Amino acid sequence: MFLVLLFLLAFMFPTSTFAAESNDIIRVLTLQDYNTRVVLLGTLLLGVTSGIVGTFMLLRRQTLIGDVVSHSALPGVAIAFLIGEAVSPGSGRSLHWLLAGAAATGLLAVVCVGIIRRYSVVKPDAALATVLGVFFGFGAVLFKTVQELPTGNQAGLQQFILGSASTMIASDVAIIAKATAVVLVLSLLLFKELSILSFDEDFAAAQGWPVGMLDLGLTGLVVGITVIGLESVGILMVALLITPPTAARFWTDNFARMTLVAAAIGGASATVGCLLSAMVPKLAGGPTIVLSGTAFFVLSMLFGTRRGIVQRWLRHAANRRRIGRDDLLRAMYEIIEARLVSADDQSATGNGLNISPSLSGGEATEEESALFAKQAVQISELFNHRSWSARRVRQVIAAAEREGTVRMDSETGWRLTSSGAKTARRAVRNHRLWEMYLISHAEIAPSHVDRDADDIEHVLGTEVIEQLEQLLASRVPPATVPPSPHPL
């Protein structure tokens, strides 16, 4: 991942724009510089903690709270600077002062959102947008005022807008480490409670959990981690809260694993962004960290094992092949069955094809499999039976041949193999069980039931088949293929 981003940067920027030579790049990658280690440690802690807290935010559907807090923190930073300068000239840029001011106005903004949502008809998204705009506008005015002061101590406050991770020193990292440690410990101690709150607030309340206090605690964690990240990522901190858990959602359905993956992606995003910013001084640390997280999100969206686009396409293709194979085998079975019934073959009766009831699951005997494997089916018969296009028939037959369920008999004829006959029999039996259920319990007309059964037969599980067998036990003998309720 890191090498890909580095290659893209090298492609986008001329070589002359890189401040460091190859040995300097190696020096950054191997963390030989003290400042690089300090900055990397701070951003890494921030990324990991943001991924964990952001997971609760995402499932709680409060992702924009972080955006409100990050923008609303700006007036607090400006006010804290002014108060610090008034109390002790030269101390206004103290990180303790600035973070305290940011936390105060951030919490005030969250309270304002809550009041508007509770005591007015304004919708939640409108309340969030209104509070964000008011506080950010006020912060911009105060920043302009601060910049025009003659003290000269206000230099560097602009970094709270877009962040500047490279300017962090050891004392800043120590503050970040302490704060993230508190947030991390609280998140782990309240993991079960916050999980229940995130998934089902009503259930948590019914179980006696203090929902209001838990919600307030989660909001406090969001405010805390957002304020901590202002110096390094700035108002883009909301992206570091949302992007890692969103990317993690593509990899797992388990909440605990999702939290771990989100923490890993958050830490990796911070690491990659920090190192790229160190190698290319013109790249701001905050935006680079956010772009690194976006790159991880794109990779997760494409290749995630649970909801990734590639995996979904592969599953869809495999499911389409399976459905096509089942439809082909069922069509061949029914064509052969119609021949045998019309010829009054001794292996067929008007009540369906019977096999030994001692075989479980409706498996065919070797005699029945051999009987169906003797008959060849022409492609023209498949056209008439399924109304498929010639291309679709060839695709399905080619896939079935590769699986070993059909084999070519002549230039235009195909036979079922022994395993194909058993699979076809099972597909026909499941299909007709469902047809009989729809006719007897859903009052579907026999002339329409075939296509209705087609829509669901491919997702019938073992338990559903057993339930159908129990419901239709009086009409379908065990381990038999019932007759078709409509003309084949």
State the pLDDT at residue 152: 57
Tokens (6 digits) for 363: 């498996």
Task: Compute mean pLDDT per 10 residues along the chain, 488 residues long, and list them.
Answer: 48 46 66 74 86 87 80 84 74 72 86 85 84 86 76 60 68 80 85 83 80 82 82 78 91 89 91 81 77 91 90 87 85 84 52 39 61 81 78 85 84 81 84 79 70 68 73 68 69
Domain 312-471: assigned CATH number: 1.10.10.10
Helices (H), 234-349: 237-248, 255-279, 285-303, 309-342
- For 106, 108, 182, 213, the CA distances from 220, given in Å and listed in that order, are 10, 11, 11, 10
Domain ranges within the chain, ordered by starting residue: 2-304, 312-471
Q: Which of 318, 316, 317, 324 is CA-nearest to residue 397?
A: 324
Domain 2-304: assigned CATH number: 1.10.3470.10
pTM of the model: 0.73
- Asked, colleague to colleague, whether 2-304 and 312-471 share their fold, the answer is no
Tokens (6 digits) for 373: 């494997």
Per DSSP, what are the bridge partners of residue 378? 413
